[in-house]
Structure 1
Amino acid sequence: MNTGYFDYAAPANEPVYSYAPGSPERAALKKQLAAFKAETADIPMYIGGKEIRTGKTVDLRPPHEIKHKLGHFHEGDASHINDAINAALEAREKWANMDWEARAGIFLRAADLIATKYRYHMNGATMLGQSKNAYQAEIDSACELIDFLRWNVHYLSEIYRQQPVSSPGVHNRMEYRPLEGFVLAVTPFNFTAIGGNLPASAAMCGNVVVWKPANTQVFAAQMFMQVLIEAGLPAGVINLVYASGPLIGDICFSNPHFAGIHFTGSTGVFQTMWKTIGQNIHKYKTYPRIVGETGGKDFVLIHKSANPEVAATALARGAFEYQGQKCSAASRAYLPSNIADAIKTKLIADLKTMKMGTTEDFSNFINAVIDERSFDKIAKYIDNAKQDPAAKVIAGGNYNKTEGYFIEPTVIETTDPKYITMCEEIFGPVLTIHVYDAEKFEEIMDVVDSTSEYALTGSIIAQDRYAVELATRKLVNCAGNFYINDKPTGAVVGQQPFGGARASGTNDKAGSMLNLYRWLSARAIKETFVPPVDYRYPFLNEA
């Protein structure tokens, strides 16, 4: 056999296209959007390399245009989940034994396919299926997903080259094996990149995967699966199934070959998963890896020295890009009394300029929330705030689901720093602000730290460097991603590895080596060149 040491250098982040008027990418994306809308997609599951159609279909409709049918997907049952597990286990040995450079080539090719041939397919599917505007789709379903694939190849090559020292007469080496069994990837609706990365990162490490995406993200998920297949991913390595979450959990968490869960979603679901895995721990061949990124109640703390325009812009973007449906979205803000009015004035003025409507109109900054269930939940929070003496809606507050699930960007001001919308995750275009005494900065940091069970993202806006340093130290456990003079969203692979602690997850930092270590099992090997032939050590001699 031929042997070589292969190097995968740190890549540059994928450039973000602007989609400005007159640009070629704008024309290409609009053409792809029209093509998607002109046909009705018939979306199968992918199990063991085969397209599986059950005849039990679920319609897919754009959240911003619910009368239009994009297509439908074929829903699976328990038999399909078991088929997916069996297909994964059947593929496991051959995939685990594939040379690293061959595995790497598949995912690097997938990245290049997305960057070129399928860029507008990925973005268009995300725009229509998940109601993201062109720019939000570009940074997600194109750039971030490409970055995950390329950077993870680089990180994994760096892990593989890490080796222990050897003493005279001995050679030590370390092998990094895949886990013994299959990995379950459960992915959310809000980021196509997360939907792709959770199964792909585990598979890149040599694992086989059962992938269950959110129903509301199936349109983009199956597009990525098609890219992987074209890139050369062998049958059975990743099996894409559409079935109910509880059913998948019941079957996968009861299987002795269950080796790990890669999850992004709600805290409650993740905690239930953890409990079930714990109850079933005696069934498994190996202790499963449990990796999850869950909810957030992300804060922006503004100091009295802050520039009001900087603060208002961070709130406008951080709270309302993609309708606040980011686990990192700014959802609670603390404004100092000396500049609170200036911040509110600019923020309210900015919100009045934000257009809301379909994703196909590129002038719309705001689109629809993901589905009716989410719409109803968010509307209830807004209605309650309108009736509560401790709260006041100072911007937005209107909503309508006649044509799509549209909710205006809404700002609630409360006199109670522990008001419900300061504490509970809403996952929508709702920002709650509280004005505090500008001279009580240290006291408000105690409030920030104690208000929420989550610890995902947060930011400090200040020109006073002592205030920045104090907040960075005192809020050390409040956020896994902490931003200085910026919004708390927009982590970039290779630049800001993402994750959070407390009720926000296991902080395994997608976009870094840390996440990949969770999908590897190390084996240390020691070889002695001239082994001893006598048990006696020198210290046993009398003289």
Structure 2
Amino acid sequence: MTTFSKIAPYVNEPFTDFTKEENKQAMRAAVAKVKSELGREYPLYIGAESIATDAKITSINPGNVDEVIGYVSKADQALAEQAMQAALNTFETWKKVSPRARAEYLLKAAKLMRERKLEFSALMILESGKNYVEADVDTAEAIDFMEFYAREMIRLSVINETLPLAKIAGEDNFISYIPLGVGVIIPPWNFPLAICVGMTTAAIVSGNTVLLKPASTTPVIAYKFVSLMQEVGLPAGVINFIPGSGAEVGDYLTTHPKTRFISFTGSKEVGLHINKLAAETAPGQIWIKRVIAEMGGKDGIIVDETANLDAAAAAIVASAFGFQGQKCSAASRAIVVESVYEQVAGKVIALTEQLQVGLPEENFPVGPVIDQASFNRILEYIEVGKQEGTLLTGGGKAAGNGYYIRPTVFGEVSGKARIMQEEIFGPVLALAKAKDWKDAIAIYNDTEFGLTGSYFSTSEERIAEALETVHCGNLYINRKCTGALVGVHPFGGFNMSGTDSKAGGYDYLLLFTQAKLRSRKI
């Protein structure tokens, strides 16, 4: 009988305490080490081959645009096809590797990443613009995903023992979860390690092989992860690393007849485009492609008049401006009952104006947004906000040789306003006034998205109704709406926020497998 013996129980990776000077010094040293290695070139990995191309993706530091993080080789369609063939060939052997053996690769990688936690975090500080805490949390979550999914794969492999099928006389029946095939993994830039690691390892521990196309703004940290998996001995061809253009490489692989599934995290627009392409049956295709998509949100925090207003304001500011609002779970809306609106708005303004903007490597609370396109788009939304509400604080660029924007708060915003309806993905918060708590829930629900939300109240009756009627995948009571923990807060949303998948949850690996009943007459 297969058991969980020799594998310790799952426990979330602890966060580093940066209030301690020794931890700050250790992170500064890690940043200095990473900076000494900037400007290197990084190849593709296809099967057992390391391939350098003339075409390169240039990764730059968004907090200091004169600093090049690295030059990453760029795949084209011919190389994407080569990677597909490598993945197909490797799948024939990888699918036969025992779930326990596949899980061991993840556990070994988690151990090594834990030992090098500061180094991985330091690279994210420079490549994605995260401060110390945000980068540390990202790396911790990557470790959590590997630890959690390793155990989940073993659990699924013994599901018939833990959840037996009904018995009938004369038959022996057994359910097994087998891999799908070759998948395309398209992770986002905002959690360039955690989500990249989670999406990729969920697929491979389930027995699939993958084509990993990282975000073009953060390809170096993805390369470091792939290198780590090679270091622990993962067979060549299980992960094929092919950075490239979404229009050229992404669309080609999405429409490929041998692609079995696409796992995507990113914008609504790109997710819908992938879903549309995947729905078309290509010549030679013998399955319906599976799309696993997390597509963002327009998340909000509701505050009623019974709430702890100080706690609510602190949660609003933390949720709105953590990592510059560049989280699909970020609270870009706060909906406050009118009798306490002015109090909450005043507290939010005061806390927001305490946030300092500057270089992530110097651990400022607010750093840059990711690139020039995001910078321009967010500033455009700020101009829209000036027409739709009252500018309470912020409202433009911040100083620095990077993509810096001041944390911005608008007040008296209508629930139908663009800045209340459209995902901005930047440091912009809209405050709306509700007549009462039921009106606040109605305003919250008036969106095409449904990812995260928070409800602040001390009324158990209202909380009970909010738990039933606030329509989102992750609803939190009296806490911020960001910061989901693997295994604790399975993450994923409704409506245009995605396909209702729950990353870091107990059903997530089922999306990368198919259940096969084996029935035998005895």
Task: Give the structure-2-normalised TM-score.
Answer: 0.96
Query: Could you tell me how far 1:91 is from its partner in structure 2?
Result: 0.6
1:153 aligns with 2:150: yes
Residue among 509, 514, 517 paired with 1:521:
514
**1:432-443 matched pairs, under 5 angstroms:** 432-437=430-435, 440-443=436-439
- Segments of 5+ residues of structure 2 without an aligned counterpart are none
Partners of 1:41 and 1:485 in 2: CA distance: 46
Q: 1:127 aligns with which of 125, 128, 133?
A: 125
Q: Which amino acid aligns with 2:365?
A: F
Alpha-carbon spacing, 1:352–1:271, altered in 2? closer, same or farther (3 Å)? same
| Distance in 1, Cα, partners of 2:222 & 2:94 | 22
- State the AA in 2 paired with 1:442: K
- Residue type of the partner of 2:245? S
* TM alignment of 1:33-72, pairs within 5 A: 33-39=31-37, 40-72=39-71
Q: Which residue type is aligned with residue 51 of structure 1?
A: S
Within 5 Å, give how 1:271-310 maps onto structure 2. Answer: 271-280=272-281, 283-310=284-311
**1:458–1:479: 8 Å Cα contact kept in structure 2?**
yes
- Letter of the 1:446 partner, please give it: A
Report the counterpart of residue 347 of structure 2 in structure 1: 346
Partner in structure 2 of residue 332 of structure 1: 333
1:498 is matched with which residue? 491
Equivalent residue for 1:487? 480
In structure 1, what is the Cα distance between the partners aligned to 2:112 and 2:333?
39
Residue 412 of structure 1: aligned partner? 410
Counterparts of 1:457 and 1:212, CA distance in 2:
27
Matched, 1:245 2:246: yes
**C-alpha distance in structure 1 between counterparts of 2:199 and 2:27, whole Å:** 26
Within 5 Å, give how 1:333-412 maps onto structure 2: 333-362=334-363, 364-386=364-386, 388=387, 390-400=388-398, 403-412=401-410
User: Which range is displaced more, 59-68 or 368-377?
Assistant: 59-68
Could you tell me how far apart the structure 2 residues matched to 1:458 and 1:125 are? 31
1:151-187 deviation per Cα after TM superposition (whole angstroms, max 9, x unaligned): 11122222221222432332212222111x3100101
Provide the secondary structure at the position in 1 that maps to 2:140.
helix
- Of 321-330 and 284-293, the range deviating more from structure 2: 284-293
Assess if the C-alpha contact under 8 Å between 1:159 and 1:513 holds in 2. Answer: no
| One-letter amino acid of the structure 2 residue matched with residue 183 of structure 1 | G
What is the CA distance between 1:256 and its match in structure 2?
A: 2.1
Change (3 A) 1:499 1:395: same
Equivalent residue, structure 2, for 1:511 = 504
- Which digits, 9 at most, give the CA deviation of each residue in 1:13-64, with x for residues without a partner? 11111123422x3333212211221232211111113221102223221101
Shift of 1:236: 0.3
Using the TM superposition, name which of 30-39 and 329-338 deviates more: 30-39
Change in 2 beyond 3 A, CA 1:175/1:473: closer
Is contact 2:384-2:419 (8 Å) kept?
no
Choose from 424, 444, 447 the match for 1:448: 444
Q: 2:223 is aligned with what amino acid?
A: Q
SS in structure 1 of the partner of residue 102 of structure 2: helix
Which one-letter code corresponds to 2:154 in the other structure?
A: S
Change (3 A) 1:309 1:289: same
Q: Please tell me the root mean square deviation across aligned C-alpha atoms, in Å.
A: 1.6
TM-superposition CA deviations, 1:252-290 (whole Å, max 9, x none): 233221100111011111111111122226642222211
Equivalent residue, structure 2, for 1:182: 182
Name whichever of 290-299 and 393-402 sits farther off: 393-402
Within 2, Cα distance between the matches of 1:487 and 1:392? Answer: 24
Name 1:536's counterpart in structure 2.
none
CA distance in 1, matches of 2:117, 2:400: 32
Note the C-alpha offset of 1:400. Answer: 4.2
Query: 2:383, 2:310 → 1: CA distance?
Result: 29
- Alpha carbons 2:326, 2:425 under 8 Å: kept: yes
**Which residue in the other structure is 2:224 paired with?**
223
Match of 1:137 in 2: 135
Q: Following superposition of structure 1 onto structure 2, how do residues 40-119 of structure 1 map, counting pairs within 5 Å?
A: 40-116=39-115, 118-119=116-117
The one of 456, 462, 476 aligned to 1:461: 456
Partner Cα separation in structure 2 for residue 83 and residue 121 of structure 1? 32
Question: Partners in 2 of 1:379 and 1:75 — Cα distance?
Answer: 30
> What CA deviation, in whole Å up to 9, does each residue of 1:221-260 have, x standing for no partner?
1111111111111100011111111222332233221100
Return closer, same or farther for 1:4/1:464 CA change in 2, 3 Å cut-off: closer
Report the 3-state secondary structure (helix = DSSP H, G, I; strand = E; otherwise coil) of the residue aligned with 1:55.
Answer: coil
- In structure 2, the partner of 1:14 is 13
Identity of aligned residues (%): 32
CA distance, structure 2, for counterparts of residue 268 and residue 104 of structure 1: 34
Greater alpha carbon shift after TM alignment, 189-198 vs 69-78: 69-78
Unaligned runs of 5+ in 1: 530-543
In 2 relative to 1, CA 312–5 (structure 1 residues): closer, same or farther, beyond 3 Å?
closer
Separation of aligned partners in 1, 2:491 and 2:514: 22
Distance change >3 Å, CA 415–CA 242, structure 1 → 2? closer
How far apart are residue 87 of structure 1 and its match?
0.9
Query: Helix, strand or coil: the match of 1:407?
Result: coil
1:95-126 deviation digits (Å, cap 9, x = unpaired): 1111222111110000011111x212210111
Report the CA distance shift for 1:36/1:415 in structure 2 as closer, same or farther (over 3 A).
closer
User: Residue 377 of structure 1: CA displacement?
Assistant: 0.3
How far residue 402 of structure 1 moved from its aligned partner, in angstroms, is: 5.7
Cα distance 1:254–1:441, how it changes in 2: closer, same or farther (>3 A)?
closer
Contact 2:337 2:440 (8 Å CA) reproduced: no
Q: Deviations over 1:469-506 (max 9, x none)?
A: 1222222xx21000000111100001000000100001
Cα distance, 1:401 vs structure 2: 7.2
Q: Which residue of 2 aligns with 1:27?
A: 25
Q: Return the letter of the residue paired with 1:458.
A: G
**Residues 415 and 443 of structure 2 are in contact (CA less than 8 Å); yes or no, is this contact kept in structure 1?**
yes
Is 1:425 matched with 2:420? Answer: no
CA distance in structure 2 between the partners assigned to 1:167 and 1:282 by the alignment: 43
**Residue number in structure 2 paired with 1:533:** none
| C-alpha distance after superposition, 1:191-231 (max 9, x if no partner) | 12001111111001000000111011212111111111111
Paired letter, 1:463? T
Q: Is the 8 A contact 1:6 1:101 kept in 2?
A: no
Task: Determine the C-alpha separation between the residues in 2 that align with 1:401 and 1:178.
Answer: 50
Higher Cα radius of gyration: 1
CA distance in 1, matches of 2:465, 2:3: 46
8 A contact 1:184–1:261 mirrored in 2: yes
**Which moved further from structure 2: 412-421 or 394-403?**
394-403
Shift of 1:319: 0.3
- Give yes or no for contact 1:185–1:261 (8 Å, CA) kept in 2: yes
Q: Does 1:474 align with 2:475?
A: no
Residue 537 (structure 1) aligns with: none
